[in-house]
Amino acid sequence: MKNIGQFGTPFMDKRPFSSSNKIRVSKKYKKGDYVSEDDLDKALKLPNSKGKTGVSGQDFSTVKYDTRGPYVIRINDKLER
């Protein structure tokens, strides 16, 4: 059972997100940019077999960089501050 906080919502998991949650995006993006939904579809290899993506740009962080280049993560994968 999940811990329920003072406001009736489960506590966020304090473990850091893993690198497997990183979605690599085009190098045309700079740190802090938002990725277009078309580019997210390409990065996630969408659309699915029914032609639907179900991806919203609002569900992803701004572009971040590491040694391998630019990436985004799903916002619900970590606590955004």
In the chain, the amino acid numbered 39 is D
Q: In this structure, what are the phi and psi dihedrals at residue 25, rounded to the nearest 5 degrees?
A: -125, 170
Please, where are the H alpha helices in 1-81?
Answer: 37-43
Residues 17-72: pLDDT tens digits? 455 689 999 999 999 999 998 888 888 887 766 666 677 888 899 999 999 999 99
Write down the pLDDT at residue 72.
94
Contact of 29 with 67, CB cutoff 8 Å:
no
Helices (H) and strands (E) in the chain, counts: 1, 3
pLDDT bracket for residue 80 (50, 70, 90): very low
Write down the pLDDT at residue 29.
95
Compare 9 and 51 and report the one with higher pLDDT.
51
pTM over 0.85: no
